[in-house]
Amino acid sequence: MRVNVGDMDIDELLPKQPADPLTEVCREDLDPLSVVELEARIEALRGEIARVEAKLDGAVSHRKAAEQIFKR
C-alpha cells in the first residue's frame, strides 16, 4: 500500500536501509560533549576495538584450523 504526501510517495521519505552504526558514530557531532564524556567515549571505543580484535583472532584461528583439516 502506498501513501501519498502531496506529490511525494511516503516510501521516498523513508530510508531504503538502516544506517550503518559505525558510519553514524563517525558522523556524530562531538562539540557538545564534555571532557568527561569524550574520555568515556574513548574508553567505550577501546573496549569495542578489543572485542572486535578478539573476534577477529578467533575467526582467523578457526579458518586456519579448517584449512588444516581440509588439506589432508
**DSSP 8-state assignment for residue 30:** -
pLDDT score of 28: 95
CA 37 to chain centre: 20
Spans of all domains in the chain = 18-71
Q: How high is the mean pLDDT in each 10-residue block of the chain (72 residues)?
A: 61 76 92 98 97 96 90 72
pLDDT score of 70: 87
Amino acid at 6: G
> Who's near 30: CB < 8 A, 6+ residues apart?
38
pLDDT score of 52: 97
pLDDT score of 13: 74
CA 46 to chain centre: 14
pLDDT score of 8: 66
pLDDT score of 37: 98
